Structure 1
Amino acid sequence: MALAAELFAVWLFGFSALISIINPLGGALVFHGMTRWLTEAERARLARAIAINSFIVLIVALFVGVRVLGFFGISLEALRLAGGLAVAVAGWRMLNEETDEARQQRDARAPAALDTAPLDRMAFFPLTLPLTTGPGTIAACIALAAERRAAELGDILVSVTAALLIALAVGLSVWVAYANAAALARRLGPTGMLIAAKLAAFLLLCIGAQIMLTGATDALRPIFAAR
Structure 2
Amino acid sequence: MHDLLSHTLVMIGGYFAIMNPFANTAIFTAVTAGMDDRSVKKTAFSAVVTALGIVLSFILLGRIIFDFFGITLPALRVAGGIMVFFIGFDMMHGRTSAAHAPASDNSPAEQGQNIGISPLGIPILAGPGTIAVSMSYSATGNVQEIAINALVFSIMCMVTYVFFLLGEKVEQKLGQEGLKVITQLMGLILSVIGIQIGLEGIFGAISLFEQHHAS
TM-score past 0.5 threshold: yes
Identity %: 24
Q: 1:22 aligns with which of 19, 36, 46?
A: 19
2:122 alignment partner, SS class: coil
Aligned ranges 1:71-150 → 2 under 5 Å: 71-97=68-94, 110-112=105-107, 114-115=109-110, 117=112, 121-146=114-139, 148-150=140-142
Aligned ranges 1:177-192 → 2 under 5 Å: 177-192=163-178
Give the paired residue count.
206
Partner of 2:153: 167
Q: When the two structures are superposed, what TM-score results if normalisation uses the length of structure 1?
A: 0.81
Q: When the two structures are superposed, what TM-score results if normalisation uses the length of structure 2?
A: 0.85
Map Cα deviations across residues 49-96 of structure 1 (whole Å, 9 max, x no partner). 222222222211111133213211121111111111111121122213
Map Cα deviations across residues 16-47 of structure 1 (whole Å, 9 max, x no partner). 21221121211111111111111223212321
Q: How far off its partner does 1:115 sit? A: 5.0
Q: CA RMSD in A?
A: 2.4
Bigger radius of gyration: 1
For structure 2, which runs of at least 5 residues remain unmatched after alignment? 97-101
Given that 1:11 and 1:165 are in contact with CA atoms closer than 8 Å, whether structure 2 keeps it comes out as: no
Higher relative contact order (CA 8 A, sep 6+): 1
Q: 1:54 aligns with which of 48, 51, 56?
A: 51
**CA distance in structure 2 between the aligned counterparts of 1:125 and 1:149, rounded to whole angstroms:** 30
**CA distance in structure 2 between the aligned counterparts of 1:115 and 1:63, rounded to whole angstroms:** 35
Q: How far off its partner does 1:113 sit? A: 5.1
